[in-house]
Chains A and B, each alone.
Chain A
Amino acid sequence: MDGLPLLSIVLFLPLAGAVLALFVPGDQPGTSRRLALVVSGVTFLVSLLLWFGFATGTAAFQWEERAPWLPEYGIGYHLGIDGISILLVLLTTLMLPLVILSVSTTITTRVKEFSVMVLLMETAILGTLMALDLFLFYIFFELMLVPMYMLVGIWGGERRLQAAMKFFLFTMAGGVVMLVGIIGVYLLKGSFDYVDVLKSITAPGGALPIDMQLWLFAAFALAFAIKVPLFPFHAWLPDAYSEAPTGATVIMSAVMVKVGTYGFLRFCIPLFPTAAHDAVWTVSVLATVGIVYGALVAAMQRDMKRVVAYSSISHIGFVMLGLFAMTTESLQGSVLQMLNHGVSTGALFLLVGFLHERTRTRIISDLGGIAKVMPIFAGVFTLVMFSSAGLPFTNGFVGEFLILTGTFKNATDGLQPFAIIGASGVVLSAVYLLWMYQRAMQGPVNPAFSSPDDRPSNGAGGRTGLVLADLTVREMMVLLPLAALIIWIGVYPRPFLDRTAASVEAISGRMALPQTGVLASGSGARVP
């Protein structure tokens, strides 16, 4: 495998597929769909090489690729992955083929454009995760907007246009402020290269002056906070999630917003450590408010998709809490929880989408007794729900447990109250999810629905209204990998934690340095 630019291949395969899909005639939807599926599937298979070939125990970037691009500005084409990005790269390459497979009955118009946009989106997301050059990162970061705007705007619900525009403007506003920040870093450090800048910053006496750090941290953090979204920057999210077609919602919630949390961990915290440390309280407060607020609002929703949307705000709050507690455990938990959130929220949105396809409604009170009509669906739903609520032996438990323990351990910053309040979010999430489950899945079957097994002949109890078939083989194929991941990470998270450990410790160790003995003593972070 040596000498093969594996990252570039994974990164540009979808783009090549998108270009190819442009030349498929518009009246052959099957061909474009198959093309997108094959290309994203092959991308996933190639990316598995990254997973198996990943060297644990080192924080260094692997499969690094470097080529000069605009040398006079210190801009290079620089890719690489480490323990922070490996899980997200794999999550992206896994989710995209699943999404394409899942929409084959719902996206039936303009399939060609859909295929192009989804593949373009995959390249953009992977680019943000692999780029080790700030300029390159920004290009992919902004590039994500266009295909997502199209996905929401063309195939979305009734208010899709406002939702798409709101999403675009919000994210772009954050993005351009970050661009000024990126230019600032370049002018201070003379390079856009992440590794070079980081090296210069971590060198003795190389840290940026504190007032500069605060400005630059704010510029970067704004862009990522909108992307995540951190409370109170979440205004675009409920509309975008609920108006987008299921496929786009899954891409957004499962992978796109992770770029925000990833950005905090990759750029904000290591590049501006002092400012990040100053922001611990602010971010922790916002994250905790987000956890509780998201959960409470989720409980009040009538629309299943909006329940999941708000629960997503709540859950991403845990990731943010863990990131800014900056202990090894909490960071480990956050990195893992990014993956978990992608898997669980993605699966939940997929399930809601499958249900909506059959019942043509997402209003909880219009449902009822679905479990009797669609037992397999209800079973999978239960598993995913447990994972989202963080029950033991599911992935959610491992992540949230690590985050809360790690946060609680950071006594020096006084973060224990946040851990305690945050823990209430776990309870709340169980409340709204189980309540939703109870109303939608249990109880008497809504007379508008019936199972295909019902005999049509014998009068009462016969087929009436919509006939709800259980999950099809295709849908099970979509859900199976996610369900497997939920249990795998829940029972045996070691392969995942092993891969992230070294990079996480490097960051937590570095963050402990400036406040030696203060943060380290209470946090359990290993000071090198």
Chain B
Amino acid sequence: MMFVLPTLEWWTIAPVVVLTLTGCLVLVVDLFRGDDASPEPLAWLTTGGLAIAIGTSVSLWGYESQAAFSGMVVADNYTQYFTVLFLVIVGVTVLLSFDQLTREDFHPGEFYSLIVFSAVGMVLMASAADLIMVFVGLELLSICLYILTGFSRRRLESEEASIKYLLLGAFASGFLLYGIALVYGSTGSTNLGCVARAINPSSTFAMFGCGTGSVAGAATSALLLAGVAMLVVGLGFKAAVVPFHMWTPDVYEGAPTAITAYMSVGAKAAAFAAIARVFMIAFPTLSHDWSVILAILAAVTMIVGNTAAVSQQSIKRMLAYSSIAHAGYILVAVVAASRVGMASLLFYTVGYTVMNLGAFMVVILLGKRSEDHLLISDYAGLSRRHPVLAGLMALFMLSLAGIPPTVGFVGKFYIFTAAVQADYAWLAVIGLLSSVISVYYYLRVVYQMYMVDPVAGVEAVTPLRWVTVAAGVAGVAVIALGVFPQGVLALASASSTFIR
């Protein structure tokens, strides 16, 4: 019997290779450093690795490539779009965490290598062409995040958050794996393209590496639907979709602020990258089954996230619930199940990243040294003390609330247009009305900053020049993408061509 070695198209996973090498290099270099050496060289090393990875990813743009590694990964525009987004997020996180890293005496070697390995996980999730690959990427991301959440060793909340996240996360991973098993049981494959063909033989997803051979499997059995439902649970957990969101506020509040920022945009985007790919490729013919379920989940997520955020006193908890609500908006784009919807999802992820990271930058700049979390009332009178920061924060809040002419508005507009187009006008109305609720808590920050007199005793801004610059850049981007969204939207459309 002939044994054919599978061809390994290494170039398709070039960014992953670069990142993995970077992570290992950081660990090795760390070995030869003194205990109290500055973390700066490692930060530069990490940033350099990220830059090279971004470069390789950009150079892979435009390949309508076949699946590689026996149908495990696929390197199309969608993959590269998310890869670049993830790596930029990681780069910003490295910048944001630097102050806390030195202040709270984190081990830089572990910190930077973990964050790079989590990036590998995210990239794998976006490039997965196989449910197994989705799982591997998700686990790699999750395990790194569990540790990163507990990195503030001296703060009990950080430890508590880490354990909570680990326990619930492990549970969710179990669901995901069980869902994969059920899908495999009913379709005979874990490859996204093969699953689709098993359900509907006429669908051809050659690019996802499913061979031409016949695929065994029962079409729409109860087993398959149960499997799909469990995939929703497992992936919805990571994206913080209601009712799988319980961990979010505690974990976001306990984790170091830079990691909270990272999770709120990075992990969420990765989860949606996987959700969209899995549901659009593997189960398009089942869309009337899952799109109704996802639509209900999206509606509940938007309503619960936005109403729960109203009563929060801590800015990090408020942003946690706000991120839940935004998961709901993004889920609406998945529900639309169209190419337009996919483009709007890709656009919104970028827009949400910019505005949410911007908000967290301001939170970090205002963080008290003693305790890491801030109350919303600590923002009182900020416009008098730091007019520029207050202006930026107001801008990010208005953008998150979806007030034009910001990227938050354009993003919502695209998503809800796609929803109305897909006959989900009721979902659009619920989404938009719940965003009216969100205005209340976002404006509460604005109101504290501009309309309340400063309170004595709140510490001045931590002087972090580069974070301030980054916040300024994010502020400009929020307006620029709000007025001229064409560029990013064109990239988003070019990245959603894998949908028929």
Residues on A lying within 8 angstroms of B by beta carbon are 26, 70, 72-73, 113, 135, 138-139, 142-143, 145-146, 149-150, 153-154, 160-161, 164-165, 168-169, 172-173, 176-177, 179-180, 183-184, 186-187
Contacts and interface: CB of A to CB of B under 8 A. Distances in A.
A445 to B, nearest CB: 38
5 contacts: A168-B443, A169-B436, A176-B433, A176-B436, A183-B416
A135 B413 CA distance: 10
Interface string B462-500: 000000000000000000000001100100010000000
B377 to A, nearest CB: 14
Given A150-B450, A168-B439, A169-B440, A184 B433 contact: no
Given A146-B398, A165-B440, A139 B417 contact: no
B443 A165 contact: yes
B125 to A, nearest CB: 29
Contacts of A145: 403
A150 B390 CA distance: 13
B405 interface: yes
Size category of the B interface is: 20 to 34
Given A70-B486, A143-B404, A154 B451 contact: yes
Main secondary structure of the interface of A (DSSP, over half): helix
Interface in B404-462: 404-405, 409, 413, 416-417, 420-421, 425, 428-429, 432-433, 435-436, 439-440, 443, 446-447, 450-451
B436 A160 contact: no
A161 B451 contact: yes
Contacts of A176: 432-433, 435-436
B387 interface: yes
B417, B428, B429, B485: most-surrounded residue (chain A CB, <10 A): B417
Contacts of B420: 180, 183-184, 187
Contact of B443 (A70, A113, A135, A149): A149
Contact of B429 (A70, A169, A177): A177
A176 B403 CA distance: 10
Contacts of A73: 417
Given A70-B486, A73-B417, A150-B450, 12 more contacts: A135-B413, A143-B403, A153-B447, A153-B450, A153-B451, A165-B443, A165-B447, A176-B436, A177-B429, A183-B413, A183-B417, A183-B420
B439 A142 contact: no
Nearest to B420: A183
Interface string B361-403: 0000000000000000000000100010000000000100001
A23 to B, nearest CB: 11
Given A142-B403, A146-B403, A149-B443, A180 B451 contact: no
A179 B403 CA distance: 12
Contacts of B404: 138-139, 142-143
A187 B424 CA distance: 13
Contact of B436 (A149, A173, A186): A173
Contacts of B429: 177, 180
Contacts of A113: 383, 450
A154 B450 contact: yes
Nearest to A153: B451
A165 B398 CA distance: 14
A165 B451 CA distance: 12
A357 B220 CA distance: 76
Contact of A142 (B387, B409, B428): B409
- Return the 9 tightest CB-CB contacts between A and B, nearest first: A176-B432, A139-B404, A153-B451, A183-B420, A173-B436, A142-B404, A183-B417, A172-B436, A139-B405
A180 B428 contact: yes
Contacts of A173: 433, 436
A165 B448 CA distance: 13
Nearest to A172: B436
B439 A169 contact: yes
A179 B439 contact: no
A67 to B, nearest CB: 12
A289 to B, nearest CB: 26
Nearest to B414: A73
A415 B429 CA distance: 35
Contact of A172 (B383, B416, B439, B446): B439
Contacts of B433: 173, 176-177
A446 to B, nearest CB: 34
A149, A168, A179: most-surrounded residue (chain B CB, <10 A): A179
A286 to B, nearest CB: 23
B428 A183 contact: yes
Contacts of B436: 169, 172-173, 176
Contacts of B405: 139, 143
Nearest to A173: B436
A180 B435 CA distance: 13
Contact of B485 (A70, A138, A183): A70
A29 to B, nearest CB: 14
A70 B404 CA distance: 15
A163 to B, nearest CB: 12
B87 to A, nearest CB: 28
A161 B403 contact: no
